[in-house]
Amino acid sequence: MSTEEKYVAAVYLVVFVVLLAYVFIIALKLQRLQRELAELAELAVKQRDVERKAVAVG
């Protein structure tokens, strides 16, 4: 590989790596949001059950 080819490859590699890192960070964030959504759904179900029990007792 000539010096010129190395420079061209370096430029395209830098762009690829930075964009890959960006997409990876976004993917991690979406995973966290999915986890949070599952937690909130669980919390909502628990609250609904508590409210139903309270209505039944009342």
**Residues at the interface with other proteins (CB under 8 A):** 2-5, 7-8, 10-12, 14-15, 18-19, 22-23, 26, 29-30, 33, 36-37, 40, 43-44, 47
Contact call for residues 9 and 1 (beta carbons, < 8 A):
yes
| Cα–Cα distance measured from residue 47 to residue 30, given in angstroms and rounded to the nearest whole number | 25
Closest CB 2 distance from other proteins, rounded Å: 8
| Cα–Cα distance measured from residue 42 to residue 31, given in angstroms and rounded to the nearest whole number | 17
Among residues 16 and 53, whose Cβ is nearest to other proteins? 16
Chain-centre distance for alpha carbon 35:
9
Among residues 8 and 53, whose Cβ is nearest to other proteins? 8
